[in-house]
Every structure is written in structure tokens, then in C-alpha cells.
Amino acid sequence: MRYLVKATNNPPLAMPPLALTLDLDDTLWPVWPAIERAETQLHAWLQRHAPATARRFDIAGLRALRDEVARTHPQWSHDLSAIRLESLRRALRQAGDDEGLAQPAFDAFLSWRHRVEIYADVVPALQRLAARFPLVALTNGNADLQTIGLSHWFRSVVSARSFGVGKPHAAIFMEACRRAGAPAHRVLHVGDDLALDVAAALAAGLQAAWVARPDIHAEAEGAPEGTHHVVRDLGELADRLGA
């Protein structure tokens, strides 16, 4: 199966990118296994330190409360940490436990959230790509590349939480291009999400590559018109770019 899709609205492939921006969750590692482990460990932490909260809210209940906070506080849509922290405060308050435990509970969650299993292709591909292009991480999540151990491949990290808005807003893509030191039309954004990564990057004037990993995307179909590459992993992308 061939994954190259001819670009129409964006610059042709004859204009190679000068820099790359990369999504993190589900591009460099599968995110949901890490989240599920972190939620399990969070509940175990609550059983030890806030047993009334653990009794009132099981893992599904804590997740539902987090979703409720996200719905009722759209101003925090760019800050997943704020949403999780507020949901823990609510859970503790409703159960009659000390709300001051929210921060250490969140810290326990975040520690486990960073125990990700990096895809096997990622480190070799990052080594190749970073030797040729400035790399900037661009994420709506709250993963920390330094904690995970990949920060040395990246010139900078632009997170929705620190920037104030997330993908698909064009402004966060423009900030990533600025930090990469290249104009938008010479930056290739690489990510797994067709809407937040591929379509949004193209709309912002960047080139785009869709990483359609088999464990997430059974069929690599449906990329927006103008997508420059559709690949199964970062190694294939490095091959495409001659890195």
C-alpha cells in the first residue's frame, strides 16, 4: 500500500521542510495505557491517604468527575492538569476528605502518567531526524519530555498549557514555527490525529504528515487533501525525508 498523498494546497514536496514539529501522545508513545495505569495508581493512592474518597469514587467515577469538570470549565480546555486537579479537589470535598490532598494525589497520578512505553521506532528515528532538522514538540497534553527522557532531541516544547491555547488553533502552530526558526510553509508537522494535527497544521499553512500507526489506525485512509506524507511510523518518515 502506498501512503504518499499528493499535496495541492500546500507547497509541493519539491520544497523540503526546514524544520519539524511533532505531536507527542499516540505519536511517540501510546497514551491510553499510561493514563489507565496512572488512574489505577491514583485510586490506590486515595485508598491509602483518602479512603472515604476512594470508597465514594471508583476509577470510572473519578474519570466521570474529570469529564464533568472539563465540560463545565471550557476555559481550561488547554490545561489538562488543571482539569484533573480540580476534579480531585471536588472528589475529596464531596467525600469529606481534606482538599489539601488534591495536589499530592495529582502528583502521584502525573508520576505514573509519565511512565510511557515509547514506540520502538521513535528513538532511532528521532536521532536521524534531529541530525537534519530542528525539532519542536507541539502538544495538547501534559507529558514532560525531560521526565520521559526524550528532551535532548528537541529544540523546544510548545504545550497548550503553557501557551494558553491548544491545537487546532493556528496560533500555537505559529509559535512552534517561530521556535523552530522556519516559516510555516517550510515546517512539517507530524502527528497522529487527523483533525488536531493534520487538518489543523494544513489550515495554519504548514506541511503535514500523518503517522497512522497500525495499533491506532487499522487503515491509513482519510487524510485531508494536501497531506504530504502518510506513514506507519517515524522510521518510515525519516526514510521519506532522507534523514
23 given a catalytic annotation: yes
The rounded distance, in Å, linking the Cα atoms of 197 and 160 is 13
Secondary structure of residue 179 in the 3-state scheme: helix
Catalytic annotation, pick one of 23, 97, 192, 233: 23
Backbone angles phi, psi at 168, to 5 degrees: -95, 15
Alpha-carbon separation of residue 188 from 20, 141, 197, 220 (angstroms): 5, 20, 11, 19
Helix/strand/coil for 96: coil
- Alpha-carbon distance of 154 to 130, in angstroms, equals 7
Based on DSSP, count helices (H) and strands (E) in the chain, helices before strands: 11, 6
Which sequence positions are flagged as catalytic?
A: 23
